[in-house]
Amino acid sequence: MEPFRIKKAAFVTSVGQGGGYPEKRAAEIALVGRSNVGKSSLINCLTGNGKLARISAAPGKTRLVNYYLVNDSFYLVDLPGYGFAQRSRGERESWGKLMESYLTSGRVDHLLLLLDIRHEPTGEDRQMFQFLLYYGIPFTIVATKADKVSKSKRQPSANQNAKLVGAPPWGLPFSSETGEGRQALLDRLDSIVSEKLPSSKENEAEPLTEP
């Protein structure tokens, strides 16, 4: 079987608290993490389009729910980052309402929780993980910026951060700079989408497990 590839990806729309979500597709896979953890870079790396998701030098610029349609089949959804200290109280409250509105919409099928492999998870990271558990959203822990630590430490660090955030002790090391973990994450997306397709019930798709 050929490895899964993204042949087409395009920005669709940005959504605020007022809703206006695009039409449903086979699956909706969202990315969440601290500001500057590398969500936009990850989307660009996965899709092979360095200009698809806008990358800002200043953290905290993503303030809306941004939809990207992949292979005319499923959505990758970039959620606003959290933990940016310079945001006002009003902005943080607005972020909370926007996230709650999205997470309770019933649209998200799977969530990629991005953690910086170089640092232990923050209180906000652990709180975000508790949100996922509360809302019953399936997840995958992705340890970004894997190229910033030595190769021998990448998998152990990813596993340790997953454990510290409260998840089972396995994370996927990923680097947007080198492409490490790219195919593994693409295969994970393929599994998620396949499970949502009507034929998946007949094929009895295997649940997601540690590689």
Tokens 């206006």, located at residue: 20
Judged against a pLDDT cut of 50, whether residue 5 lies above it is answered with yes
- Every domain of the chain and the residues it spans: 9-198
Judged against a pLDDT cut of 70, whether residue 211 lies above it is answered with no
pLDDT, one tens digit per residue, over 16-48 is 987 899 999 999 999 999 999 999 999 999 999
pLDDT, one tens digit per residue, over 190-199 is 999 999 987 5
Fold of the domain spanning 9-198:
Rossmann fold (3.40.50)
Mean pLDDT to the nearest integer, 145-159? 98
Output 60 or 6, whichever has higher pLDDT.
6
pLDDT, one tens digit per residue, over 54-95 is 875 444 455 799 999 999 999 999 999 988 655 677 777 888
Q: One-letter amino acid identity for 15?
A: V
Could you tell me the pTM of the whole model? 0.89
d(CA 167, CA 28): 21
pLDDT, one tens digit per residue, over 116-150 is 999 999 999 999 999 999 999 999 999 999 999 99
Judged against a pLDDT cut of 80, whether residue 101 lies above it is answered with yes
CA torsion angle for 90, 15, 47, 128 (degrees, to 10)? 40
d(CA 7, CA 22): 21
pLDDT reported for residue 89: 76
Q: One-letter amino acid identity for 129?
A: F
Phi first, then psi: give them for residue 181, nearest 5 degrees: 85, -5
